[in-house]
Amino acid sequence: MLRLAYSFFRRDAAIAFSYRFAFFAQFTGNILLLGLLYYVGQMIGPQALPSLDRYGGNFLAFALVGVALTDTVMVSLISFGQQVREAQTTGTLEATLMSPVPLWVILIFSSLWNYFLSAFRFVLYLVVGALMYGLHLGQAHMGSVLIIFALTVLCFMGAGMAWAAIVLVIKRGEALMTLIVTAVLVLSGVIFPPSVLPGWLRSLGALIPLTDALDGMRIALLQGASPAELAGPIGRLTVFSIVFLLLGVIGFDQAVRIGRRNGSLTQY
Amino acid sequence: MMTAQNGSHSPRTQPTGEAVSVLVEGVSKRYGKIKQAGQSTGSDGGRMWALRDVSLSVRRGEMVGLLGPNGAGKTTLMKCIATLLEASAGRILVENVDVAREPRQARKHMGLVTCDERSFYWRLSARENLRFFGALYRVPRRDVDGRIEELLAALGLSGAAERPYHSFSTGMRQKMAIARGLLTDPRVVLYDEPTRSLDPVSTQRIREWIRESRAHHPEKTHILATNQLTEAEQLCDRVVIVNGGQIVVQGTVPEIRERFGEAGQSLHRLVCEGVVESELPRADPDAGVWEVSWERSGDGAAVIQLVADQRGEGLSLVLASILRQGGRVLRCETRQASFDEVFCRIIAKEQGAPEAATEVAS
């Protein structure tokens, strides 16, 4: 399996490097986004949002962690469906389906490169934030950071696979995904704390795992909280991960069966 | 509807005394309600039948051609065998593995050669593509590079191994599809129109390669879906003609030519002088004359087109009539009906309501 994982990684890396301009341009965009957040933070000022006290009171640090982790979440949510759709439209899906490897494994492996890039961007955001905008990460609890990061990836990996199952069946789901992503970004508090939302929206936001992931990651990175102190978010993320992964694997398997039955697997 | 030519030969699925590599038993494929007329071959209250009760047996080492008009069900049958489609009824065994129950196990025995030239990664080289698919198809690491080298050399692609796939010609891309299909050294190779869109030279090269490959690996089983009848005639031991989702004829090409009524005819073109049309024999299948047509050429000679039995009785009758009139045969050309013509006649006959398969081979 390791060899297969490496093959997918190497394939996607080779394809990505063959588009050199696009590859390097994406990082420039990421760094410019940090500049944008920095100046918004300057405008708001340190005391503008008391609800940020829980995270150290610094808007840039708050938003930067939000953007960095959301990048990984977006890869999980979108990448699987995108891979399926690309394989359908480029014609590689049929050849891929001839593999004796379970399809959900292929699906995960086909996003390894995207995960690698996302993890790289996560670190890049933090490093550039520290070097250029004075972000302090000295107190971060790395154990907690890794646990939250891994659970976030697993949880949204499941959600992404469920999404890929939907893409297999309905083919074009971009509009629906845009709607879902926007709602998730607003409710979970990527660049503003959920506490500023009206009560009923806050309740809705609490049902989204990204809310716990962001809260846990911010406290771990900016306040140095230990895993024990983050038992709540970690516990809820674990439950979300199990449910979503099961839902994703079973849903994708069912979608493939439906596609095989009605002959729509390679249609797009 | 055609019926079996030999009453003792019902459609068979299990040849005796030889190992069966691919067994298709009573396979039907029905799609849900489809609004527009399209791919399928028969409707049933809005449901479309792509295959109806298809049974077929392919012996180990045999190459069988799947022929039929567009929408006949060839590709659907291939996809059902390849596990890409789930049959609605019946069962398919590939090397004794049930493709519905153990699809992943069945795939280990099969290689699929598609005609879709887009099905590779265009930014990767030929070797990178094949390495990737080698890993995906679980070719052992120690074997994969050697296997790729061997296939690239056999297909004449060694010199282009490091070139990106997008720089390949259509013929080279088709060769890549063959290489990918054979990467796992499969026992069963499924070719889905391997020479579609190729120029005649590339087509001939690929056919020669397949023929040589069969000579070197006589144990491999091949199923070829094609619209090119010459290809089936050149390569296949046996052909299966599908129409309306059913197998209507199966046998060797000579058997099909020989056994199917007017398909076993000879076509004659006689250029004569001193002949009167009204004195020529009329079409009479009992006498071996199916069709007689007449026209005057520019120089006044009579040109008689004759469709007659292969035994020569019909031709003898017409020649006797010419000589009786005191006429003279200036030129006589005889040819057998091409397999294309035989095929078209079979399909034309089948355009009614196919009911049962006809077995030609004994």
> Could you read off the pLDDT of B79-125 as tens digits, one per residue?
999 999 999 999 999 999 999 999 999 999 999 998 777 889 998 99
Q: Do B132 and A261 lie within an 8 Å CB cutoff?
A: no
| DSSP labels, B149-197 | HHHHHHTT-GGGTTSBGGG--HHHHHHHHHHHHHTT--SEEEEESTTTT
Rounded Cα gap, residues B327 and B179, in angstroms: 61
Q: Positive or negative, the Cα torsion across A238, A241, A247, A252?
A: negative
Is residue B242 within 8 A of residue B77, CB to CB? The reply is yes
Nearest one of A85, A109, A76 to B132, comparing CA atoms: A109
Which pLDDT does position B130 carry in this prediction? 95
Q: Do A94 and B119 lie within an 8 Å CB cutoff?
A: yes
Interface A-B, measured as beta-carbon pairs within 8 A, has a size of: 88
Tell me what percent of the residues of chain A surpass a pLDDT of 90.
Answer: 24
pLDDT at A205 over 80: yes
The two tokens of residue B4 are: 């079996």
- The residue extents of the domains of chain B are 20-259+343-359, 265-338
Residues of chain A contacting B34 with CB distance shorter than 8 Å: none
Helix then strand then coil, in percent of chain A rounded to 5, is 80, 0, 20
Q: What is the DSSP letter of A92?
A: -
pLDDT at A133 over 90: no
H/E run at residue A181: helix A174-188
Q: Do A11 and B84 lie within an 8 Å CB cutoff?
A: no
Which pLDDT does position A47 carry in this prediction? 64
Rounded Cα gap, residues B333 and B4, in angstroms: 32
Q: Indicate the average pLDDT of chain A.
A: 86
Chain B CA closest to residue A17: B123
Q: Give me the sheet containing B97-98, strands edge to edge.
A: B43-44, B47-59, B20-33, B89-94, B97-98
Rounded Cα gap, residues B273 and B189, in angstroms: 56
Which pLDDT does position B362 carry in this prediction? 32
Nearest Cβ partner of A100 from B104, B123, B132?
A: B104
Q: Do B137 and A94 lie within an 8 Å CB cutoff?
A: no
Beta bridge partners of B22: B58, B94
> Could you read off the pLDDT of A52-74 as tens digits, one per residue?
777 877 888 888 889 889 988 88
Q: Using DSSP, state whether B191 is helix, strand or coil.
A: strand
Check for a shared fold between B20-259+343-359 and B265-338: no
Rounded Cα gap, residues B156 and B162, in angstroms: 13
Rounded Cα gap, residues B112 and A257, in angstroms: 20
Other C-beta atoms within 10 Å of B295: how many?
A: 10
The ipTM (two decimal places) reads 0.82
Q: Which amino acid belongs to residue B288?
A: G
Beta bridge partners of B253: none
Determine the distance in angstroms separating the CA of B112 from the nearest CA of chain A, rounded to an integer.
8
The two tokens of residue B319 are: 């020649």
Alpha carbon distances (Å) from A100 to B99, B133, B185: 12, 11, 14
Which pLDDT does position B38 carry in this prediction? 47
Q: Do A98 and B110 lie within an 8 Å CB cutoff?
A: yes
Q: Using DSSP, state whether B249 is helix, strand or coil.
A: strand
First to last CA, chain A: 29
Rounded Cα gap, residues B77 and B22, in angstroms: 12
> Could you read off the pLDDT of A83-127 as tens digits, one per residue?
888 888 888 888 888 899 888 888 889 889 998 998 888 888 888
- Strand B20-33 to B47-59 pairing: antiparallel
- CA B39 vs. chain centroid, Å, equals 19
Rounded Cα gap, residues A258 and B213, in angstroms: 37
- Residues of chain B predicted below pLDDT 50: 1-17, 34, 36-40, 353-362
Q: Which CATH class is domain B20-259+343-359?
A: alpha beta
Q: Do A11 and B124 lie within an 8 Å CB cutoff?
A: yes
Which pLDDT does position B4 carry in this prediction? 33
Cβ partners under 8 Å of residue A107, min gap 6: A80, A83, A84, A161, A164, A252
* A267 interface with B at CB cutoff 8 Å: no
Which pLDDT does position B15 carry in this prediction? 44
Rounded Cα gap, residues A200 and A183, in angstroms: 14
Which pLDDT does position A75 carry in this prediction? 86
Tell me what percent of the residues of chain A surpass a pLDDT of 70.
Answer: 97
- Strand B358-359 to B246-251 pairing: parallel
Which CATH architecture group holds B265-338? 2-Layer Sandwich (3.30)
Q: Do B118 and A15 lie within an 8 Å CB cutoff?
A: no
With vertex at residue B53, the alpha carbon angle to CA B352 and CA B190, rounded to the nearest 5 degrees, is 105
Other C-beta atoms within 10 Å of B299: how many?
A: 8
Residues of chain B contacting A94 with CB distance shorter than 8 Å: 84, 112, 114, 116, 119
Rounded Cα gap, residues B361 and B62, in angstroms: 14
- Strand B63-67 to B47-59 pairing: unpaired
